[in-house]
Amino acid sequence: MPRTFPLRNVELFVQEKRPWIEKTLRRLRESEELFPPARVADGGQVPYLGERLPLTVRVEPSRTRAHVARRPGGLKVALGPETPLEKALEAWYRRRARIEVAPRLDAAVARAGRSYASLQIRGQRRRWASCSTSGAMSFNWRLLLAPAEILDYVVEHEVAHLDVQDHSERFWRLLASRSPSWREHERWLRAHGHSLRLFPAEEAHGEE
Protein backbone atom coordinates (compact mmCIF):
# COMPACT_ATOMS: atom_id res chain seq x y z
CA MET A 1 0.00 0.00 0.00
CA PRO A 2 1.14 3.61 -0.45
CA ARG A 3 3.00 5.03 2.55
CA THR A 4 0.37 7.77 2.85
CA PHE A 5 -2.53 5.27 3.05
CA PRO A 6 -4.02 5.34 6.58
CA LEU A 7 -3.50 2.04 8.42
CA ARG A 8 -7.02 2.21 9.83
CA ASN A 9 -8.42 1.92 6.30
CA VAL A 10 -6.47 -1.18 5.27
CA GLU A 11 -8.92 -3.78 6.57
CA LEU A 12 -11.89 -2.03 4.96
CA PHE A 13 -10.00 -1.75 1.66
CA VAL A 14 -9.14 -5.46 1.69
CA GLN A 15 -12.74 -6.40 2.43
CA GLU A 16 -13.98 -4.25 -0.44
CA LYS A 17 -11.46 -5.80 -2.83
CA ARG A 18 -11.80 -9.36 -1.53
CA PRO A 19 -13.62 -10.76 -4.63
CA TRP A 20 -10.93 -9.35 -6.93
CA ILE A 21 -8.12 -10.59 -4.65
CA GLU A 22 -9.56 -14.11 -4.46
CA LYS A 23 -10.19 -14.23 -8.21
CA THR A 24 -6.62 -13.09 -8.90
CA LEU A 25 -5.14 -15.65 -6.51
CA ARG A 26 -7.17 -18.42 -8.18
CA ARG A 27 -5.94 -17.28 -11.58
CA LEU A 28 -2.32 -17.30 -10.41
CA ARG A 29 -2.66 -20.79 -8.94
CA GLU A 30 -4.28 -22.13 -12.11
CA SER A 31 -1.54 -20.52 -14.20
CA GLU A 32 1.23 -22.12 -12.17
CA GLU A 33 -0.41 -25.53 -12.49
CA LEU A 34 -0.34 -25.19 -16.28
CA PHE A 35 3.02 -23.41 -16.42
CA PRO A 36 5.13 -24.59 -13.43
CA PRO A 37 7.70 -22.11 -12.12
CA ALA A 38 11.40 -22.68 -12.63
CA ARG A 39 13.29 -24.68 -10.02
CA VAL A 40 16.71 -23.07 -9.94
CA ALA A 41 18.91 -25.65 -8.23
CA ASP A 42 20.95 -28.69 -9.10
CA GLY A 43 18.49 -31.28 -10.39
CA GLY A 44 15.86 -28.64 -11.11
CA GLN A 45 14.45 -27.39 -14.40
CA VAL A 46 14.23 -24.04 -16.13
CA PRO A 47 11.91 -23.03 -19.01
CA TYR A 48 13.28 -22.10 -22.41
CA LEU A 49 10.97 -21.25 -25.32
CA GLY A 50 8.47 -23.96 -24.46
CA GLU A 51 10.99 -26.56 -23.30
CA ARG A 52 11.98 -27.55 -19.77
CA LEU A 53 15.75 -27.80 -19.48
CA PRO A 54 17.12 -30.04 -16.72
CA LEU A 55 19.66 -28.14 -14.66
CA THR A 56 22.99 -29.60 -13.53
CA VAL A 57 25.07 -27.41 -11.24
CA ARG A 58 28.55 -28.04 -9.89
CA VAL A 59 30.88 -25.83 -7.87
CA GLU A 60 34.58 -25.85 -8.74
CA PRO A 61 36.81 -24.29 -6.05
CA SER A 62 39.40 -23.12 -8.60
CA ARG A 63 36.91 -21.51 -10.99
CA THR A 64 36.75 -17.70 -11.08
CA ARG A 65 34.10 -17.27 -13.80
CA ALA A 66 30.82 -19.10 -14.21
CA HIS A 67 30.29 -21.25 -17.28
CA VAL A 68 26.78 -22.08 -18.53
CA ALA A 69 26.22 -24.23 -21.60
CA ARG A 70 23.32 -26.08 -23.14
CA ARG A 71 24.07 -29.74 -23.76
CA PRO A 72 21.91 -32.66 -24.97
CA GLY A 73 21.13 -33.50 -21.33
CA GLY A 74 20.06 -30.01 -20.41
CA LEU A 75 21.74 -26.92 -19.02
CA LYS A 76 25.16 -27.45 -17.44
CA VAL A 77 26.42 -24.84 -14.99
CA ALA A 78 29.88 -24.65 -13.46
CA LEU A 79 30.30 -22.08 -10.69
CA GLY A 80 33.13 -20.69 -8.65
CA PRO A 81 32.69 -20.67 -4.86
CA GLU A 82 31.69 -16.99 -4.88
CA THR A 83 29.43 -16.99 -7.96
CA PRO A 84 25.64 -16.91 -7.37
CA LEU A 85 23.72 -19.37 -9.54
CA GLU A 86 21.04 -16.75 -10.22
CA LYS A 87 23.55 -14.28 -11.61
CA ALA A 88 25.13 -16.90 -13.88
CA LEU A 89 21.76 -18.02 -15.25
CA GLU A 90 20.51 -14.51 -15.92
CA ALA A 91 23.71 -13.69 -17.82
CA TRP A 92 23.21 -16.81 -19.95
CA TYR A 93 19.57 -15.97 -20.69
CA ARG A 94 20.55 -12.44 -21.66
CA ARG A 95 23.13 -13.74 -24.14
CA ARG A 96 20.68 -16.27 -25.53
CA ALA A 97 17.97 -13.61 -25.85
CA ARG A 98 20.06 -11.65 -28.33
CA ILE A 99 20.74 -14.85 -30.29
CA GLU A 100 17.02 -15.74 -30.37
CA VAL A 101 15.60 -12.26 -30.93
CA ALA A 102 17.98 -10.89 -33.58
CA PRO A 103 17.13 -13.31 -36.44
CA ARG A 104 13.42 -13.12 -35.66
CA LEU A 105 13.57 -9.34 -35.70
CA ASP A 106 15.61 -9.22 -38.91
CA ALA A 107 13.14 -11.54 -40.64
CA ALA A 108 10.11 -9.59 -39.42
CA VAL A 109 11.40 -6.20 -40.54
CA ALA A 110 12.38 -7.68 -43.90
CA ARG A 111 8.82 -8.98 -44.40
CA ALA A 112 7.47 -5.57 -43.40
CA GLY A 113 9.86 -3.70 -45.68
CA ARG A 114 11.17 -1.71 -42.74
CA SER A 115 14.39 -1.37 -40.75
CA TYR A 116 15.29 -0.75 -37.12
CA ALA A 117 18.07 1.31 -35.56
CA SER A 118 19.35 -0.90 -32.72
CA LEU A 119 18.56 -3.89 -30.54
CA GLN A 120 18.94 -4.03 -26.77
CA ILE A 121 18.24 -6.84 -24.34
CA ARG A 122 16.98 -5.67 -20.99
CA GLY A 123 15.33 -6.91 -17.83
CA GLN A 124 12.44 -4.45 -17.66
CA ARG A 125 10.12 -4.83 -14.71
CA ARG A 126 7.02 -3.47 -16.41
CA ARG A 127 7.18 -4.24 -20.11
CA TRP A 128 8.10 -7.06 -22.43
CA ALA A 129 9.49 -4.94 -25.24
CA SER A 130 9.51 -1.48 -26.75
CA CYS A 131 10.08 0.33 -30.03
CA SER A 132 11.11 3.98 -29.95
CA THR A 133 10.19 6.55 -32.57
CA SER A 134 13.79 6.32 -33.81
CA GLY A 135 13.49 2.56 -34.38
CA ALA A 136 15.46 1.46 -31.31
CA MET A 137 14.21 -1.97 -30.24
CA SER A 138 14.33 -3.38 -26.73
CA PHE A 139 13.28 -6.88 -25.61
CA ASN A 140 13.01 -8.45 -22.18
CA TRP A 141 15.22 -11.52 -21.75
CA ARG A 142 12.43 -13.15 -19.72
CA LEU A 143 10.52 -13.72 -22.97
CA LEU A 144 12.75 -16.78 -23.36
CA LEU A 145 10.85 -18.29 -20.45
CA ALA A 146 7.69 -18.28 -22.60
CA PRO A 147 6.81 -20.58 -25.51
CA ALA A 148 8.50 -19.69 -28.80
CA GLU A 149 5.26 -18.47 -30.37
CA ILE A 150 4.95 -15.81 -27.67
CA LEU A 151 8.40 -14.45 -28.46
CA ASP A 152 7.51 -14.51 -32.17
CA TYR A 153 4.35 -12.54 -31.43
CA VAL A 154 6.10 -9.89 -29.34
CA VAL A 155 8.62 -9.38 -32.14
CA GLU A 156 5.82 -8.86 -34.66
CA HIS A 157 4.08 -6.52 -32.22
CA GLU A 158 7.13 -4.28 -31.97
CA VAL A 159 7.82 -4.34 -35.71
CA ALA A 160 4.26 -3.14 -36.28
CA HIS A 161 5.14 -0.13 -34.13
CA LEU A 162 7.64 0.92 -36.78
CA ASP A 163 4.57 1.83 -38.84
CA VAL A 164 2.10 2.79 -36.11
CA GLN A 165 3.47 3.98 -32.77
CA ASP A 166 0.22 3.87 -30.81
CA HIS A 167 -2.27 1.09 -30.09
CA SER A 168 -5.02 2.47 -32.30
CA GLU A 169 -7.40 0.40 -34.39
CA ARG A 170 -5.04 0.91 -37.31
CA PHE A 171 -2.24 -0.71 -35.30
CA TRP A 172 -4.29 -3.77 -34.38
CA ARG A 173 -5.47 -4.23 -37.97
CA LEU A 174 -1.86 -4.12 -39.16
CA LEU A 175 -0.76 -6.56 -36.48
CA ALA A 176 -3.62 -8.94 -37.32
CA SER A 177 -2.45 -9.03 -40.94
CA ARG A 178 0.97 -10.20 -39.75
CA SER A 179 0.04 -12.21 -36.65
CA PRO A 180 -3.51 -13.58 -37.06
CA SER A 181 -3.41 -15.22 -33.60
CA TRP A 182 -2.45 -12.02 -31.78
CA ARG A 183 -5.51 -12.11 -29.51
CA GLU A 184 -4.64 -15.60 -28.32
CA HIS A 185 -1.06 -14.54 -27.58
CA GLU A 186 -2.22 -11.42 -25.74
CA ARG A 187 -4.50 -13.57 -23.60
CA TRP A 188 -1.59 -15.92 -22.86
CA LEU A 189 0.58 -13.02 -21.68
CA ARG A 190 -2.20 -11.69 -19.47
CA ALA A 191 -2.82 -15.12 -17.93
CA HIS A 192 0.76 -16.34 -17.58
CA GLY A 193 3.03 -13.32 -17.85
CA HIS A 194 3.46 -13.17 -14.07
CA SER A 195 5.07 -16.62 -14.17
CA LEU A 196 7.85 -15.61 -16.56
CA ARG A 197 10.48 -15.38 -13.87
CA LEU A 198 13.40 -17.51 -12.77
CA PHE A 199 13.50 -16.47 -9.16
CA PRO A 200 10.56 -16.20 -6.71
CA ALA A 201 11.55 -12.69 -5.58
CA GLU A 202 11.16 -11.25 -9.07
CA GLU A 203 8.14 -9.06 -9.67
CA ALA A 204 5.46 -10.08 -12.12
CA HIS A 205 5.56 -8.11 -15.37
CA GLY A 206 2.92 -6.29 -17.29
CA GLU A 207 2.41 -6.10 -21.00
CA GLU A 208 4.05 -3.59 -23.32
5-25 pLDDT tens trace = 888 888 888 888 888 888 777
In which element (H, E) is residue 122 found? strand 118-122
Residue in 46, 26, 35 with CA at minimum distance from that of residue 188: 35
- pLDDT value of position 202: 56
Answer whether residue 28 shows pLDDT above 90: no
- The larger pLDDT score, comparing residue 119 to residue 8, is at 119
Q: Which of 115-124, 149-158, 189-198 has the lowest mean pLDDT?
A: 189-198
Residue in 180, 115, 119 with CA at minimum distance from that of residue 153: 180
- pLDDT value of position 207: 41
Cβ proximity of 75 and 53 under 8 Å: yes
Domains in the chain: ranges and CATH: 9-54+84-208 (3.30.2010.10)
- pLDDT value of position 63: 92
- pLDDT value of position 38: 85
Cα distances (Å, whole numbers) of residue 16 to 25, 29, 199, 208: 16, 22, 31, 29
DSSP 90: H
Read off the pTM. 0.81
Q: Mean of the per-residue pLDDT values for the chain?
A: 90
Tally of CB atoms within 10 A around 153: 24
DSSP 205: -
Mean pLDDT of 43-70: 94
